[in-house]
Amino acid sequence: MNARGRAWPDRGWEKYTHRKCYQFNKALRLTFDDGDCSHCKDYLTTQCKHLDEFMDAL
């Protein structure tokens, strides 16, 4: 699921998990440290290497 609680698009949720660039957002509870891109500290920021891809998916 993405940050808005929706399922990821048809392309498969695996595409949005466990990327090498993932860095857990420490503002979240540790139970959210599951490798999901929506829990990354750079998700939907200008620091995110995949911002264009995520914006297309939302």
Instruction: Tell me the β-bridge partners of 36.
Output: 17
The amino acid that residue 40 corresponds to is C
- C-beta atoms surrounding 27 within 10 Å: 8
52 part of a folded domain: yes
2 part of a folded domain: no
51 part of a folded domain: yes
- Work out how many domains the chain is built from and give that number: 1
3 part of a folded domain: no
Of the candidates 25, 28, 26, 30, the one whose C-alpha atom is nearest the C-alpha of residue 41 is 25
| Domain of residue 27, residue span | 13-57
pTM of the model: 0.71
Write out pLDDT tens, residues 5-50: 555 555 566 788 999 999 999 999 999 999 999 999 999 999 999 9
